[in-house]
Amino acid sequence: MNKIWSRSFNIFRNKIRIDLRIGPIRHYLTRQRNEQIILEFRRGSSIKFLAAKNGVTDNRIHQILTSSGTRAPKWHKMNQENRARVFELRGQGLSQAEIGRKIGVTRERIRQILNAGA
């Protein structure tokens, strides 16, 4: 789908209209940018650095790296030891938020793990 930017001007009593169409070249540039992000991440650049350099959010960098297979999705990072620790800490009476802070994931993720019982 092409995006159109249009602007009209009145010059010497004549109306002039300028249209700018942005089409497939944009996808090519985005693909190039994503490939550069992946390459720099593999060379050791941090996600925050890449986000600032490319003018996008940290979350977008995560999406680019995950979709390319360069980085595993965040939810696959929790190993069985940490899952067992979630249940252990819950048995000690800690809240979901406290458990999340100790393990380094969100309260929502802790809730999902406890509900799944895995």
Do 66 and 81 reside in the same domain of the chain? Answer: no
Residue 7 maps to a domain: no
Do 83 and 60 reside in the same domain of the chain? Answer: no
Q: How far, in Å, CA of 63 to CA of 34, rounded? A: 10
For the chain, the farthest-separated pair of C-alpha atoms sits apart, in whole angstroms, at: 80
Rg (CA), the chain: 23
Do 31 and 63 reside in the same domain of the chain? Answer: yes
Q: How far, in Å, CA of 61 to CA of 47, rounded? A: 7
Q: Is the pTM of this model over 0.85?
A: no
Residue 51 maps to a domain: yes
62 versus 3: the higher-pLDDT residue is 62
Do 80 and 112 reside in the same domain of the chain? Answer: yes
Residue 11 maps to a domain: no
With a cut of 90, say whether residue 91 has pLDDT above it. yes
Residue 10 maps to a domain: no
Query: Do the Cβ atoms of 35 and 28 come closer than 8 Å?
Result: no
Half-sphere exposure at residue 91, Cβ-oriented, CA atoms within 13 angstroms: 6
Q: What is the pLDDT of residue 103?
A: 85
Q: What is the pLDDT of residue 27?
A: 72
In 2-108, beta strands by DSSP E? 3-11, 14-22
- pLDDT tens for residues 46-84? 989 999 999 999 999 999 998 888 887 765 667 888 889
With a cut of 50, say whether residue 44 has pLDDT above it. yes
Residue 13 maps to a domain: no
Do 84 and 108 reside in the same domain of the chain? Answer: yes
Count of domains observed in the chain: 2
pLDDT band at 104 (very low <50, low <70, confident <90, very high): confident
- Parent domain of 105: 76-116
